[in-house]
Amino acid sequence: LGEAGPALVETLDIGAIALANEMVGGAQRLLEDTLEYIKLRMQFGRAVASFQAIKHRCAELLLQVELMKSAAYHAAQVADANPEALAYEASLAKAAASEAYLHAAIEAIQLHGGIGFTWDQDTQLWYKRAKSSEVLLGDPAWHRERMIQCLEGRESKSAPTGALA
């Protein structure tokens, strides 16, 4: 990457943090839309939201959304306050957000039932966005590897595969 390498890597880290925060918004919207839908959807004469298994899935989804939100918000704070930790925190936020957002999209489709993947619902659009955001600026595996390198003191100065594509 030459002389511009450090500046480029820092810019990609800030971009990854911004993308992680965008993914938080998408996952939050999916959660809200899904909760609203399952309260209205009736099955066996009851609202789907009243079934315990559905409540467990929604609770797990809420937990993942809150965890990704915490990681993304913390990374944004670190970008301002502690630039030395930027690489690690950006990778943590991006990896967590990528996995949680995709999980939220998959759960939303499942909880919406067959209509969740039709053009009548926005859920299918959120899924496509989650899938494309997962690999943009580095996939979760690349970011986890980078976190390990940061902890070992041999931070990766290379751009993620496909990051500039």
Q: Would you list the domain boundaries of the chain?
A: 2-151
Q: If you average pLDDT over every residue of the chain, what do you get? A: 90
**pLDDT class of 160 with cuts at 50, 70, 90:** low
Segment 28-45, tens digit of pLDDT: 999 999 999 999 988 899
Q: Options 1.25.40.20, 3.40.430.10, 3.40.228.10, 1.20.140.10; which CATH number does 2-151 get? A: 1.20.140.10
pTM here is 0.85
Residue 98 has pLDDT above 60, yes or no: yes
Residue 142 has pLDDT above 60, yes or no: yes
Sign of CA dihedral 147, 148, 151, 153: negative
Instruction: Kindly state the helix (H) or strand (E) to which residue 92 belongs, with its residue range.
Output: helix 86-112
